[in-house]
Amino acid sequence: MQQVEVETQGFAILPEVLTGSEVAELDESLDRNPLPRSRAGMRHALKHPAVLAVAREPRLLAIAQGVLGPNTFPFRATLFDKSPASNWLVVWHQDTALPLREHRELPEWGPWSVKDGVFYAHASASALSRVVALRLHLDDSTSENGPLRVLPGTHTMGILSDNAIHDLSTRTTAVDCLVPRGGILVMRPLVVHASSKSRSAMRRRVLHIEYAASASVADGLELAIA
């Protein structure tokens, strides 16, 4: 059912994947050995041993492999930390940038940028169809603390312009992705999504782990581990 939902809707919610004690252990590891963070969270979080371990955890790998196939592996992780002290709004968008080992100009790729020494390019729709994200919730995501919102089915429409995304947002019923602590939201990068500011004193921390079916994403282009 999960795989069918991801393919037809662009997302699926798995409410119980890690136990409370497993999330608490991850919390402790992140606090004990923190990587550099911005106010919004931690970029390139696979450098953290505990994050890399959970990204390779058999239950998470099985979920990603169920969508993309047996050779699926994690290539990037980001920790988002929304709280009253760090609160933000994210407009409707698609996730289209991928970290790459080198800069090479190819049709359908770009513009390019460099973040923390890693090349990034906005990718082709074909490459993004071989990527899936698992959003592991370290806190309950509720209707009050700025949950992710998605427009179901929009991942099948290719890479959309800002105007097309705005138009879809006015005529498509959005779904609030409410996920308990330890649960996972499985999400295709091209599903149109957004989040509002939190109206709660509760934190909303999400470990966003991206998986790919192959390191090779285009002619001569390979994913970087981030």
DSSP string, 21-61: HHHHHHHHHHHHSPPP-BTTEESSGGGSHHHHHHHT-HHHH
- Residue 41 pairs in a beta bridge with 38, 80
What integer pLDDT is reported at residue 224 of this predicted model?
Answer: 97
pLDDT the model gives residue 162? 97
Q: What is the pLDDT of residue 177?
A: 97
What's the pLDDT at 51?
96
Phi/psi at 125 (5° precision): -60, -35
Mean pLDDT by 10 residues, the chain (226 residues): 88 96 95 72 90 98 97 96 76 98 95 94 97 97 93 98 97 97 98 90 90 95 95
Closest CA to 149 of 195, 186, 92, 185: 195
Q: What is the predicted pLDDT for the residue at 29? A: 93
pTM of the model: 0.95
Q: What is the rounded CA–CA span in Å between residue 214 and residue 162?
A: 29
What's the Cα-to-Cα distance from 186 to each of 45, 53, 60, 121, 177, rounded to whole Å?
18, 18, 10, 23, 10
Domains parsed from the chain with CATH numbers: 2-94+132-211 (2.60.120.620)
Q: Provide the angle, in degrees to the nearest 10, between the axes of the packed helices 58-68 and 2-9.
A: 50
Task: For 113-179, give the DSSP string.
Answer: EEETTEEEEEPPHHHHTTEEEEEEESS---TTS--EEE-TTGGGG-SPPHHHHHHHHHHS--EE---
Report the pLDDT value the prediction gives residue 39, as an integer from 0 to 100: 63
- Closest CA relative to residue 136, chosen from 15, 33, 21: 15
